[in-house]
Amino acid sequence: MQLKIWHKMIIGISIPALITLTGGFFTYAYINDVKLRHGFVEIADDLRDRVLEVRRSEKNFVLHKTEEYYNYCNDGINILNRSLNGISPEIAEQVGKNDFSFLRDSLKAYSGLLIDLLGHYRQEDIFIEKVRDEGRKLEAFVKTEKHAPELSINFVLDLRRLEKDYMLFRDTASFNRMNDALSEVNSLVPSCPDCARYPEAINDLISVYNKINAMENDLLIAGRGIEDTTNRIAQSERQKVNAFFTSTQRFLMIVLILFCTLIPLFVYQTASYVVAPIKRLADITRKISEGDMTLRAPIKEHDETYTLAVSFNRMLDHLQLTRSSLEKSLELLHEKHVEVEKRASLGFLVSGVAHELNNPLNNISLTAETMKEDLQELSTEELREHIQDIISQSERAKHIIEELLDFAGTRKSTAMEKLDIINVLAESINLVANQLKVSHIHLKKDIHKTPVFIKGNQSKLEEIFVNIMVNAIHAMKESGTLSICAKPDEKEKSITVEISDTGCGIPKKYLNNIFEPFYTTKQSGLGTGLGLAVTRSLVEKHSGDIDVRSKVGEGTTFTVRFPLYTETD
């Protein structure tokens, strides 16, 4: 993907923000849901409270059997109905439609039962009154003792006590006791219609009681059903809320974990995505700074680093161009230095050579004059000898001039070839020989006798030796000894040439700098200051090295070492 850095940054920031936002949104939705569910719990609790209220009233009603308590029940049921009707269909849908319709139906049945029960209670009252009435009648009847002598008043009183007990307790024991007594009445007075009315009334009451009992039981079951349903609704709502809380907690946990892992990951990814091209550029810069100018910054991204890389590369191109042209100039300058130094040496050598030329010239003129004067007297043999002398002395003069011209650079070749360094050294010594003579300098040679081959350039090697020797001659001024020692080292595969003088020596503080260009201790006008710098660069061109040691007042020794020629060269 080709994106600009600020695009990457925006993506890098907006995606974590989006994740956060989504997480937040879901959390908000969840909490809202939980709030809603909590509302349902309140509704369910409210319903249950009202149902309990109704049931309390029901108990009171069953206990007191009065209209007042019936009204309480009815009020409770009405309120409950209102509450039920107040619940919106959406909520009913959410909480459980079946439960609500069941509740409504149950309530309807329940209130029907209540009203039925009230009717029966009133009937019971009537029947109780009737039983009391008949009882009282029976008492009165028995008290007269004429209608039923079988029945004692005590028995009747006992029966009535049993009747009261039964009406009070309404349990099976008291019913059985009362029933036994009533059966006895029937058996005692089977054909007494007056006496029969009381048991009949009691039987009616009993049947009402039974009915009431059944109804009360139904009411209880219905009430319990309603209570259970509301309880269940409340409980399930509470459970749902709890489940919601648990899942919300879990969700929040997951969001948190995602937050803690995804966002750093994403930020890291974004950062590395942004940093990567810059890092690549930095790597390249480092490599280039280490010296590889041919390297270029990779141009991959089309972001801001693209411009940077392109500018950087352009700068490098420019730099490389400048450097190569600078190197070329430096090379040229070096050539110039070599030339300047050569001319300086040449100037020095010329004075010696000029004087040296006088000798063959003198020989020639002397011989020629002799011939001119004594032409008649000289024998043919002598004449031939004279002429031969003239010829050989002319050759000698020619040779002296040639040597100088050679050194001066008519031989321009820079080719590196296999050559005998011993021979080169001898020729170099020849070049300065006259100067040594003039300066009364004694030459001490300890040079290897057989040829030693190195790979090099004749004129450059000559210049190396001449430069060092001219330096030595300058250092010694008038008189001294120039020692030249050349010995190959077969083990090191090199040859060492040592050129020592007995001159003034070089102070230690100058020794480190003497190979630097334009560094000279000579009086101005005597040296170019390039000699040793040029010498060193020429030695290095021959893969050799140059070293100097010196002691003030004793002299200086230059050591030059070249690798020997090998077949692979």
Partner 1 sequence: MENKLRIMIVDDEPIVGKRLKRLFEKEGFEVGTCTRGSVAIEELKRKHFDIVITDLMMGNVDGMKILEFVKTNHHVTRVIIITGFGKKETAAEAFSKGAFAFIIKPFKIDELREVVRKACAGLKAKSAS
Nearer to partner 1, 228 or 373 (CB): 373
Smaller CB distance to partner 1: residue 311 or 362?
362
Whether the CA torsion 220, 222, 224, 226 is positive or negative: it is: negative
Question: Roughly how many angstroms between the first and final C-alpha of the chain, as a whole number?
Answer: 54
Binding residue for partner 1, selected from 365, 410, 479, 512, defined by CB under 8 A: 365
Of 7-15, 220-228, 370-378, 502-510: span binding partner 1 (CB under 8 A):
370-378
Give backbone dihedrals phi and psi of 519, rounded to 5 degrees, phi first.
Answer: -100, 115
Residue 385 CB, nearest distance to partner 1 (Å)?
9
Q: Of 548, 540, 517, 525, which Cα lies nearest the Cα of 337?
A: 517
Q: Residues 5, 281, 357, 408: which binds partner 1 (CB under 8 A)?
A: 357
* Stretch touching partner 1 by CB under 8 A, among 239-247, 326-334, 369-377, 541-549: 369-377
Distance of closest approach, residue 290 Cβ to partner 1, in angstroms = 59
Taking CB under 8 A as the criterion, the residue among 101, 242, 358, 513 binding partner 1 is 358
Distance CA 557, CA 539 (A): 16
Nearer to partner 1 (CB atom), residue 385 or residue 489: 385
- Taking only Cα atoms into account, the Rg of the chain, rounded to an integer number of angstroms, comes to 70
> Which among 26-34, 254-262, 437-445, 516-524 is the span making contact with partner 1, rule CB under 8 A?
437-445
Among 302, 343, 384, 437, binds partner 1 (CB under 8 A): 437
| Interaction between residue 258 and partner 1 (CB under 8 A) | no
299 lies in the binding site for partner 1 (CB under 8 A) = no
Q: Long-range contacts for 109-116 (Cβ within 8 Å, ≥24 apart)?
A: 109/222, 110/77, 110/219, 110/222, 110/223, 110/226, 111/73, 111/74, 111/77, 113/215, 113/218, 113/219, 113/222, 114/58, 114/61, 114/70, 114/73, 114/74, 114/77, 114/219, 115/70, 116/215
Interface with partner 1, residue 356, by CB under 8 A: yes
The 8-class DSSP code of residue 531 comes to H
User: Judged by CB under 8 A, which of 359, 394, 423, 483 binds partner 1?
Assistant: 359
3-state SS class at 496: strand
Q: How big is the site for partner 1, counted in residues (CB under 8 A)?
A: 21
Q: How far is the CB of 487 from partner 1 (least distance, A)?
A: 26
Name the nearest CA neighbour of 553 among 514, 502, 510, 480.
502
| Minimum separation from the CB atom of position 387 to partner 1 (A) | 12
The residue from 31, 350, 366, 447 that contacts partner 1 (CB under 8 A) is: 366
Residue 521 contacts partner 1 per CB under 8 A = no
Q: What's the min distance (Å) between Cβ of 433 and partner 1?
A: 11
Here's the x/- map for partner 1, 371-410, by CB under 8 A: it reads as --xx--------------x---x-----------------
Burial of 492 (0-12, 13-18, 19+ CB in 10 A): exposed
CA count, 13 A, side-chain hemisphere, 80? 31
HSE value, Cβ hemisphere, 13 Å, CA-based, for 294: 0
Residue 513 within binding range of partner 1, rule CB under 8 A: no
Q: Which of 122, 143, 323, 355 binds partner 1 (CB under 8 A)?
A: 355
Q: What residues numbered 440-459 form the site for partner 1, per CB under 8 A?
A: 442
Give the span between the Cα atoms of 218 and 443, in whole angstroms: 150
Closest of 60, 79, 103 to residue 216, by C-alpha? 60
Dihedral (Cα; 138, 139, 140, 143), 10-degree rounding: 120
Q: Which amino acid is at 499?
A: I
List residues binding partner 1 (CB under 8 A).
355-359, 361-367, 369-370, 373-374, 389, 393, 437-438, 442
